Amino acid sequence: MHDPLPDYQRFTMSGTPFGRAVVTSVWGSAPRPEGSAMLATGEGTMAGSVSGGCVESATAMEIGAAIERGTPKLVTFGVSDERAWEVGLACGGTIKVFVEPAVRPEILEAARGPGGEVVATVIEGATLGGSVRIFEDGRIEGAPPGGIEPGALGKAALVALEKERSTTATVESLGGPCTVFLEVFPREPRLVIFGGVHIAVALVPLAKALGYRTIVADGRQSFLTPERFPQADELILAWPEEAFQRIGLDASCYVCILSHDPKFDEPALHVALRSPVAYVGAIGSKKTQAQRRERLHEEGFTDDQIGRLHGPIGLDLGGREPAETALAILAEMTAVRYGGNAGSRVG
């Protein structure tokens, strides 16, 4: 999903009317996923992307037409369209794009907020363009347009939010079935590292590039200096229990335990495995991990809790240098985050 805020401010200051387009469905080799968005003026000035370049100009024209009409429209680009060669999707991809004459307030509010919500918009049906905001606690702000059944809408929205993937859903309304686009605004993911070791030094900048807020904690001052972690968002000098309490572990957190020191790693694991975090990974060999799992079992952890532990941490990409290990860890985190299917690291 393209963050509209910087471009929105820039376009607003120009004084030229502008609209928004967002990808609602993709098939085949379309290069950008659902939720990819762009802004454009009637004169064709663009920001963001719905296709990586191949249909941007055509989408900008559709936004210009929406500005003139004052109404939204669902547009399809693809091989079945007579304009396929013209717009550049003759390679086999097809996308549906919802174009609007302006950026709706609810989109701006969701983008400006902390995340953890979905904007549900009717893209096919009698109340075209009608929308509501649905929050991670199940609360729906406003009445669903067209008499859409709120229970089914809320359930579909929460599934999309959990997967962090914008998608479409068909729901019942007073006028019959209608298509709703569920635009996901997830919480900012947080990478929580305990252990300011060499792998952590390599991991922080890679995670920043993928959009994580990075927090490094350690009980040893010498491992936790701004010189070692110039890009970290936060450094916390504390033992695991205190550090994790200050952080407030939640479902947006991805915890990597890297100190390789049992007096830190074991209490850190105890807290992380009992928390709702999205990912728990711990450094150590296969033998170390087997012994660790046995101890956790003896200490009363359930099979489900122990099964959440990724150890040895990271995917088996073959590399062993700090940056390569950091890449393997982020690859595993990405697979967990988006439901990818990947094996564990060896060694």
E strands present in 114-199: 117-124, 131-135, 140-141, 167-173, 176-185, 190-194
297 Cβ contact partners less than 8 Å away, ≥ 6 residues apart: 303, 306
Q: Are residues 180 and 194 in the same domain?
A: no
Q: Is 67 part of a structural domain of the chain?
A: yes
The residue segments making up the domain with residue 87 are: 5-100
> Is residue 89 pLDDT above 90, yes or no?
no
Q: How many domains is the chain built from?
A: 3
Q: Is 108 part of a structural domain of the chain?
A: no
In whole angstroms, what is the distance from residue 69 CA to residue 245 CA?
Answer: 53
What predicted TM-score, i.e. pTM, was given to this entire model? 0.81
Q: Are residues 237 and 289 in the same domain?
A: yes
Using 50, 70 and 90 to split pLDDT, how confident is the model at 92?
low
Reported as a single tens digit per residue, the pLDDT across 284-337 is: 999 999 999 999 999 999 999 999 999 999 999 999 899 999 999 999 999 999
Q: Is 107 part of a structural domain of the chain?
A: no
Reported as a single tens digit per residue, the pLDDT across 250-266 is: 999 999 999 999 999 99
Give the HSE-up count for residue 284: Cα atoms under 13 Å, Cβ half-sphere. 23
Q: Are residues 238 and 142 in the same domain?
A: no
Q: Are residues 260 and 147 in the same domain?
A: no
Q: The domain that contains 306 carries what CATH number?
A: 3.40.50.720
End-to-end Cα, the chain, rounded Å: 36
Using 50, 70 and 90 to split pLDDT, how confident is the model at 347?
very low
Q: Are residues 241 and 307 in the same domain?
A: yes
Average pLDDT over residues 146-162: 94
Three-state secondary-structure class, residue 154: helix
Q: Is 301 part of a structural domain of the chain?
A: yes
Q: Are residues 275 and 162 in the same domain?
A: no
Among the candidates 73, 100, 127, a domain finishes at: 100
Q: Are residues 271 and 329 in the same domain?
A: yes
Q: What is the pLDDT of residue 94?
A: 83
Q: Are residues 221 and 293 in the same domain?
A: yes
